[in-house]
Structure 1
Amino acid sequence: MTITPEAPARAHDVQVRTDPAGTPLAIRHDGQIWIVDPATDTQHWYGRDAWWDTRSTAAKGSGDLVSVEYWRVQAQIPGSNGPLRTFTLRRQPLATAWLLESVDDGA
């Protein structure tokens, strides 16, 4: 599943296990556990959310309401000889749950 302008899709909730620094180690998606390959390069960045478009006010001291966290990692089902898949994960401001933005299966 790759999200493109021609084939938009809604992000799905996924469970992500991270190390103490917050780097994803494993992803539970579609009934499978995918292990992040430590030998591949991971990408980590922050985008901005237009909170003012979705919420009318922000309480003083609410915290960071605009930083959307993204990770792009490559992962594989343990013990399989299948190709690595690229997962793009997203976490909204102040959220603890992760969303699956896209999975590129190389097809």
Structure 2
Amino acid sequence: MTLTSEAHTRTDDVQVRFDQAGKPLAIRHDGRIWIVDPDTESQHWFGRDACWDTRRTAAVGSGDLVSVKYWRVQVRLGTSNSALRTFTLRRNPLAAQWLLEGISD
């Protein structure tokens, strides 16, 4: 897959390492470690899942079924001085796995 300047439709599984406050520190994607640049401001927000479209059901008390968690972070490849890239991460309701939704330069 060739990455373009804006690739909005990605849904690759990624591993994310967080600090104690819950902010991303590093992301493992495609066998590489991307370090979140500490000098940039990460963005964090919540969206809503269209549960009426997914028809997802769960037992009473299962947790939040509609909140989609997002992070947008600036990353560099490893400890290099490579160019910054922007990763948009998403975690769906009740999921443990993070998804890489987008990469941009």
Same fold (TM over 0.5): yes
Q: Deviations over 1:9-57 (max 9, x none)?
A: 3411001001122211000012110110111011000000011221264
Q: Aligned pair in 2 of structure 1 residues 33, 56: CA closer, same or farther (>3 Å)? A: closer
In 1, distance between residues paired with 2:92 and 2:30? Answer: 21
Residue identity opposite 1:35 in structure 2: I
Residue of structure 2 equivalent to 1:51? 51
Segments of structure 2 that go 5 or more residues without pairing to the other structure are none
Report % sequence identity: 67
- Give the aligned residue type for 2:14: V
Given that 2:18 and 2:25 are in contact with CA atoms closer than 8 Å, whether structure 1 keeps it comes out as yes
TM-score normalized by structure 2? 0.87
AA partner of residue 79 (structure 2): G
Q: Whole-Å Cα distance in 2 between the matches of residues 56 and 87 of structure 1?
A: 27
Note the 1:3-82 alignment, pairs <5 A: 3-4=7-8, 9-55=9-55, 57-82=57-82
Cα distance in structure 1, aligned partners of 2:71 and 2:29? 15
CA distance in 2, matches of 1:52, 1:58: 13
The Cα RMSD (Å) is 1.5
Gaps of 5+ in 1: none
Q: What is the number of equivalent residue pairs in this alignment?
A: 101
TM-score, normalised on structure 1? 0.85
User: Are 1:94 and 2:94 counterparts?
Assistant: yes
